[in-house]
Amino acid sequence: MVEMTLLSCIGCKMNFNPPKYICPHCYSEELIEKKISGIGQIYSYTTIYAAPERLAAEAPYHIILVDLDEGLRVTARLVNGEPTINQKVKIYKFEDSVYWFESLEVI
């Protein structure tokens, strides 16, 4: 199972995506890492047909914006199915600073 984490500021309780070294809200350096579910829903998406050279063999592929259940929004790749708005997804892997999500509702 893939684990997903976020950073939380001890002072102002704001949550945000790593990597960060100070809180972008109150500038505190007191941050803690929290494990989260990695489950959310698709807020928006686009399909890439004309990809950069190093990704051309993978085209077409889907880039999605995911609203995580814990309140953050992340950009990711969808590994299965066709995306739809509000579709439930979960973290599949994190590789080379890219989140990969899989659909819980394959269409």
Q: Dump pLDDT digits (tens) for 19-37.
A: 889 999 999 999 999 999 9
CATH number of the domain where residue 44 is located: 2.40.50.840
DSSP for 33-80 reads EEEE--EEEEEEEEEESS--GGGGGG-SEEEEEEEETTS-EEEEEE-S
What is the value of pTM for the model shown?
0.86
Indicate whether 94 pLDDT > 80: yes
Mean of pLDDT values over 73-88: 95
Domain match, 31 and 46 both: no
Confidence of residue 17 (pLDDT cuts 50, 70, 90): confident
Number of folded domains in the chain? 2
CA distance 95 to 79: 13
Domain match, 18 and 54 both: no
Determine the distance from the C-alpha atom of residue 36 to the mean position of all C-alpha atoms in its chain, rounded to a whole number.
11
Q: Which domain holds residue 28?
A: 4-35
CA distance 12 to 21: 15
Domain match, 23 and 42 both: no
